[in-house]
Amino acid sequence: MIAIVDYGVGNLFSLQSSFAAIGAEACVTGDAEKILAADRVVLPGVGAFGDAAALLKSTGLDETVREAARAGKPLLGICLGMQLLLEQSLEYGTHAGLGLVPGTVRPIRPMIPAEYKVPHIGWNALCFSEDKPVHPLFSRIRPGDCVYFVHSYYADSPDEAIIARAEYGPLLTAAVARDNVMGVQFHPEKSGAVGLSILRAFCEME
């Protein structure tokens, strides 16, 4: 069973439908016991980091997500959910994240050419480092496969935590990982067959 964490934000039911499309059983829940009993956990999210972090904390699910990570369950953050995994965000102030993956969430505007629009919306190819093996999350896709992004902020993480990048002017972080905790800036549930392949790989991880 996959637990999709319901703390008031996120594309919960489209994500649940994507798992159903690959034959995986997923439930949308804000129940800490159900989350901790699940085999794997997904943390979705859309909107502003500060508001989402406050909601997660007010429900007590911030500690539930940390506990699931400590238990070694495969944990996947999606879009804002990925950003929440990091140490902090600089979106409209400074806000603490879950601290499960090193890094700071920063605005993309200073990083990209002036003619590029913010937010970054659209399909971009995933790029993998030639210096390390492709992460198991991407075992079912190929370099250059495209996924769908909608974001104005990116994860400024150390190289060892970055498992994929995408070009939007410069190469920006597309995915991060540390041990059993992973995060993707893009939306696999909106990325067609490639996104479903990524979700299937997540379901196969021990």
Strands 75-78 and 40-43: parallel
- Active-site positions read 79, 187, 189
How many residues would you count in the chain? 206
Torsion of CA 44, 123, 111, 130, to 10 degrees: 90
Q: What tokens were used for 148?
A: 């769908």
* CA-CA-CA-CA dihedral for 105, 109, 112, 115, to nearest 10: 160
Can you tell me the distance from the alpha carbon of 77 to that of 99, in angstroms, rounded to the nearest whole number? 13
CA–CA gap between residue 93 and residue 48 (Å, rounded):
11
In angstroms, rounded to a whole number, what is the distance separating the alpha carbons of residues 33 and 62?
Answer: 13
